[in-house]
Amino acid sequence: MAETNEKTQCLIIGSGPAGYTAAIYAARGDLKPILYQGLQPGGQLTTTTEVENFPGYPDGTQGPEMMEDLKKQAERFETDVRWGMITSVDLSQRPFKITADDGKVITAETLIIATGASARWLGLPSESEYNGYGVSACATCDGYFYRGKVVAVVGGGDTAAEEATYLAKLCKKVYLVHRRDELRASKAMQNRVLKTPNIEVVWNHVPKEIVGVTEGFAKKVTGVRLANVLTGGEKTLEIDGFFVAIGHTPNSGMFRGMLDMDPNGYILTKPDSTATNIPGVFAAGDVQDHVFRQAVTAAGTGCMAAIEAERFLSAQE
């Protein structure tokens, strides 16, 4: 039988840049936050190797190391960082009832949701093998490493078109691989792709295997094998990097029916705020941001959420 044996002023779900930054600010605000790390402690950055675009790391850093730094900083101010997952929430009244996977029920005066989003992948074994070694789901994060090189982007929507045009500014050549004979992207984005000279659209093809080599302890992508969906024929493109751009899924399913969301499941927050439609519940990071999806912007909204939680509690007193 689950037992309510804990109370907290602030509970944070998620441990990426948004969650840890929220914890740092909430702890410094004397809210004594409890943070549950979730299924992927450290979030998406733990699957990234080199991170060069987060302020404060002039020589770059490894994604997992950066998340460990943020965790230590949160713990330094006495955030209670816990392994485990939140399995259910009751937001019908304050204090909110939060149930963890060990059956523990915690009552929280405020809740900060920083559960992030998960990149959609193709599901190829080779995709997993080379993830972080030439396979990426974020051109803005990793495109810099492919300056002057040849890359492929897979997808046909706005995300793929944006990634391809961004990479075209850095790379010698960009292949945009799409399974149909026309893009799903908006007309403006389609025109931009088709007018960019170093983007070549590979119509009616799907990736079958990402090809690479292992050099010592390092792996690197050297090509992608494609199958023609009309003829079944195959061909291989020689590339240095492979970008999957078929969208992201926000990790918001637990809150469906309670919090306002857009059609894709991103939690809606009020303008210039992380406040949701339920007073005392705040959302930060990729679970509410489908535009930027960067570590630094996630950290910024984590800061906002903690400050807003503190102000919310002060107003209740």
Angle, in degrees to the nearest 10, between helices 158-168 and 187-195: 30
Task: Answer yes or no: 142 catalytic.
Answer: yes
For residues 147-173, average pLDDT:
96
125 CB-near residues (< 8 Å, 6+ apart): none
The ranges of the chain annotated as CATH 3.50.50.60 are 4-118+248-316, 121-244
For residues 170 and 146, the answer to whether their CB atoms sit within 8 Å is yes
Task: Answer yes or no: 10 catalytic.
Answer: no
Residue 190 pLDDT more than 50?
yes
pLDDT-derived band at 1, boundaries 50, 70, 90: very low
User: pLDDT tens, 64-82?
Assistant: 899 999 999 999 999 999 9
Please state, as a whole number, how many other Cβ atoms lie within 10 Å of the Cβ of residue 196. Answer: 17
Residue 234 pLDDT more than 80?
yes
Query: Of the spans 62-66, 244-248, 278-282, which averages the highest pLDDT?
Result: 278-282
102 CB-near residues (< 8 Å, 6+ apart): 84
> Is residue 215 packed enough to be buried (19+ CB in 10 Å), middle (13-18) or exposed (0-12)?
exposed
b/e map 52-78, b = 16+ CB within 10 Å? eebeeeeeebbbbebbbebbeebbebe
Looking at domain 121-244, its CATH superfamily turns out to be FAD/NAD(P)-binding domain (3.50.50.60)
User: pLDDT tens, 2-11?
Assistant: 555 799 999 9
User: pLDDT tens, 259-281?
Assistant: 999 999 999 999 999 999 999 99
Check 80, 90, 142, 262 and give the catalytic one.
Answer: 142
**Confidence at residue 177, expressed as pLDDT on a 0 to 100 scale:** 98
Check 10, 141, 171, 303 and give the catalytic one.
Answer: 141
- What's the predicted TM-score (pTM) here? 0.82
Check 10, 138, 171, 303 and give the catalytic one.
Answer: 138
Better-predicted residue by pLDDT, 40 or 182:
182
Least Cα distance to 282 among 4, 45, 21, 55 occurs for 21
Average pLDDT over the chain, rounded to an integer: 94
- Looking at the domain covering 4-118+248-316, what would its CATH class be? alpha beta
